[in-house]
Amino acid sequence: MKSEITFLTDEDIAQATALYIDVFSKAPWCEQNDYDDIFRYITRLLEMNTNRCYVYKKSDHIIALALGYVKPWHLGVEYQLDNFFVDANYQGQGVGTELLASIKNDLIQNDIPAIILETEMHTPAEKFYRRNGFEGLAQQRSLALICQLI
């Protein structure tokens, strides 16, 4: 089977949406996402001029996605990895590690020196990121807050 890692395109949005809903409906997330909401979220990411959304395909079938964008900060720019997920049928087979390695190479070639993300502590996701070179921020004292306006 031919596999490739490329940038996500408009033609991929429907398949990406379906995979997002499938992956995040399972443990440990058990989310109940609406198709239109996720389709709109991915579409809006692609419309950003700083988007860097990657897709891993096997025989033209999406098996993993990285949804993110480049953002400025006081020391330059960094890549905000907003969502990263692999089809349950391919988890534990190195697909995520291969996709992440490809992303790192692309970012290095484009002078983007860091990846930042948030994930739940003490989960398989945290273990995956740590195995792939991510470190927790020393003495983390920050708190994610949200102000729901509507």
Give this prediction's pTM: 0.90
Average pLDDT taken over every residue of the chain: 92
CATH code of the domain covering residue 107: 3.40.630.30
Query: Hey, is 103 helix, strand or coil?
Result: helix
Q: What is the dihedral of CA 104, 107, 66, 3, to 10 degrees?
A: -70
Do the domain assignments include residue 7? yes
Q: How far apart are CA 56 and CA 44, in angstroms?
A: 20
Residue 125 falls inside a structural domain: yes
Domain that holds residue 9: 3-131
Residue 143's pLDDT is: 55
pLDDT at residue 109 greater than cutoff 70? yes
Q: How many domains does the chain have?
A: 1
Does residue 149 lie in a domain region?
no
43/57 Cα distance (integer angstroms): 19
